[in-house]
Amino acid sequence: MKKALVTGGCGGIGEAVCKKLANDGYTVYVNYAHSKERAEKIASEIGGKAVFFDVSDSTSVRSALKDIGFVGLLVNNAGISEIDLFTSISDEKADDILNINLKGAMNCARALLPEMIKAKSGNIINISSMWGQCGASCEVDYSASKAGLIGFTKAIAKEVAPSGIRVNCIAPGFIMTEMNKRFTAEELEMIREDIPLGIFGTPDHVAEAVSFMASDRSEYITGQILAVNGGMVI
């Protein structure tokens, strides 16, 4: 049975991705850092396994994954965000954003790539954001981390393509999850008016894109950024 690891697998987008991939025939490792019960519940529903590690801690990542064997699909989805002025955000929060969103993805890829290279096969999908493509005021550290993921995707895709490994990026727009619960109904309406398709994205929209990038239907695609944003950034 093919194995997939989804970091942040119990968040809004992560859960939809785990369920979609299980449906596609993967045994899914549902990673969590804090939400143990939720991860275990999702894993039991889909016949997968919950796996604890903090993506920002390379030692924790390596020790959790050292006996996992060959994992053919890595979805780097774990992420945090914060709305604040660049000059007001705490140093600690700014470090967390870069360490989880960008270095976290690199830590996981570094842990799993040796087995992929040995197998001459593998697939890595990084969940970036439209703000990584065009930048968001008051989410500067977040935008920088997500732009970093795009740079990481392009560079590592070139490095590992000769080993038969594909690396792509999904850049979601405004997707209705916990991450966006902080907006008022009025703010949400203003945001919705800026979306050309006129509707918010759902975790399933992102999961469909991940499923496509994970499959052989995209076998000639690597190093690319697939936007799932209702036309918000074109």
User: Catalytic residues, which ones?
Assistant: 142
With contact defined as beta carbons under 8 Å apart, do 52 and 8 qualify? no
Q: Which listed range, 67-75, 106-114, 152-160, 175-183, lies at the site for ligand NAP (CB under 6 A)?
A: 175-183
Report CA dihedral (230, 228, 20, 176) to the nearest 10 degrees.
Answer: -60
Using CA atoms, how far apart are residues 6 and 28, in angstroms rounded to an integer? 7
Of positions 26, 73, 77, 106, contacts ligand NAP by CB under 6 A: 77
Which of 32, 65, 109, 167 touches ligand NAP (CB under 6 A)? 32
From 109-117, 167-175, 191-199, 214-222, span contacting ligand NAP (CB under 6 A): 167-175
Applying CB under 6 A, among 58, 107, 129, 168 the residue interacting with ligand NAP is 129
Is residue 17 near ligand NAP by the rule CB under 6 A? no
111 near ligand NAP, rule: CB under 6 A: no
Binding site for ligand NAP (CB under 6 A): 7-8, 10-14, 31-35, 54-56, 77-81, 100, 127, 129, 172, 174-175, 177-180
